[in-house]
Amino acid sequence: MSSRQNYAFTSESVSEGHPDKVCDRISDAVLDALLTEEPEARVACETFATTNCVVIGGEIGLADQSSLGRMMDRIDAITRDCIKDIGYRQDKFHYETCDVTNLLHEQSAHIAQGVDATNEKEEGAGDQGIMFGYAVDETPELMPAPILYAHAILRRLAEVRKSGEAPQLGPDAKSQLTVRYEDGRPVGVSSIVVSTQHLDEDMTSDDVRALITPYISEVLPDGWLSSETEWWVNPTGKFVIGGPDGDAGLTGRKIIVDTYGGAAPHGGGAFSGKDPTKVDRSAAYAARYLAKNVVASGVAKRCTLQLSYAIGVARPLSIYVDTHGTGEAHESEIERAVAECMDLTPRGIREHLNLNRPIYQRTAAYGHFGREPDADGGFSWEKADLAEALRKSI
Average pLDDT over residues 37-66: 94
Q: Is the pLDDT of residue 262 over 60?
A: yes
Q: Is the pLDDT of residue 1 over 60?
A: no
Cβ neighbours of residue 120 under 8 Å, at least 6 residues apart?
none
Provide the mean pLDDT of the chain: 94
Residue 12, marked binder:
no
Residue 369, marked binder:
no
Q: One of 48, 239, 271, 369 is an active-site residue; which one?
A: 239
Q: One of 12, 24, 46, 138 is an active-site residue; which one?
A: 46
Average pLDDT over residues 363-367: 98
Degrees, nearest 5: CA angle 367-370-373? 105
Residue 274, marked binder:
yes
Q: Is 253 a catalytic residue?
A: yes
The residue type found at 326 is T
pLDDT digits (tens, 9 = 90+) for 171-221: 999 999 999 999 999 999 999 999 999 999 999 999 999 999 999 999 999
Residue 106, marked binder:
no
Q: One of 274, 302, 350, 371 is an active-site residue; which one?
A: 274
Q: What is the pLDDT of residue 2?
A: 54
Q: Is 121 a catalytic residue?
A: no
Q: One of 247, 328, 335, 343 is an active-site residue; which one?
A: 247
Q: One of 253, 288, 301, 352 is an active-site residue; which one?
A: 253
CA 250, chain centre distance (Å): 14
Q: Is the pLDDT of residue 10 over 70?
A: yes
> For a pLDDT cut of 70, what percent of the chain falls above it?
96
Q: Is 76 a catalytic residue?
A: no
Q: Is 388 a catalytic residue?
A: no
Q: What is the pLDDT of residue 117?
A: 55
pLDDT digits (tens, 9 = 90+) for 293-345: 999 999 999 999 999 999 989 999 999 999 999 999 999 999 999 999 999 99
Q: What is the pLDDT of residue 353?
A: 98
59: closest CA among 248, 278, 253, 252? Answer: 278
Average pLDDT over residues 53-80: 92
Q: Is 230 a catalytic residue?
A: no
Instruction: Pinpoint the alpha helices (H) of the chain.
Output: 19-37, 65-86, 109-115, 145-163, 205-219, 255-258, 279-296, 331-341, 346-353, 387-393
Q: What is the pLDDT of residue 357?
A: 97
Q: What backbone torsions phi and psi does residue 315 show, to the nearest 5 degrees?
A: -80, 145
Q: Is 254 a catalytic residue?
A: yes
Cβ of 55: how many Cβ atoms within 10 Å?
15
Q: What backbone torsions phi and psi does residue 248 show, to the nearest 5 degrees?
A: -65, 150
Domains located in the chain, CATH noted = 7-13+150-241 (3.30.300.10), 129-137+279-393 (3.30.300.10)
On the 0-12 / 13-18 / 19+ scale of CB atoms within 10 A, 52 is middle
Question: What confidence category does residue 116 fall into, taking pLDDT thresholds of 50, 70 and 90?
Answer: low
Q: What is the pLDDT of residue 125?
A: 84
Q: Is 352 a catalytic residue?
A: no
Q: Is 200 a catalytic residue?
A: no
**DSSP category for residue 365:** S
Please check whether residue 17 is in contact with residue 86, taking contact to mean a CB–CB distance below 8 angstroms.
yes
Q: Is 46 a catalytic residue?
A: yes
Q: Is 239 a catalytic residue?
A: yes
Q: Is the pLDDT of residue 229 over 70?
A: yes
Residue 352, marked binder:
no
Q: Is 278 a catalytic residue?
A: yes
Q: What is the pLDDT of residue 391?
A: 95
Q: One of 161, 278, 281, 301 is an active-site residue; which one?
A: 278
Instruction: Pinpoint the alpha helices (H) of 168-270.
Output: 205-219, 255-258
Q: Is 280 a catalytic residue?
A: yes
Q: Is the pLDDT of residue 112 over 60?
A: no
Average pLDDT over residues 240-246: 95
pLDDT digits (tens, 9 = 90+) for 80-107: 999 999 999 999 999 999 999 999 998 7
> For a pLDDT cut of 90, what percent of the chain falls above it?
90
Q: One of 38, 40, 59, 207 is an active-site residue; which one?
A: 59
Residue 173, marked binder:
yes
Q: What is the pLDDT of residue 110?
A: 41
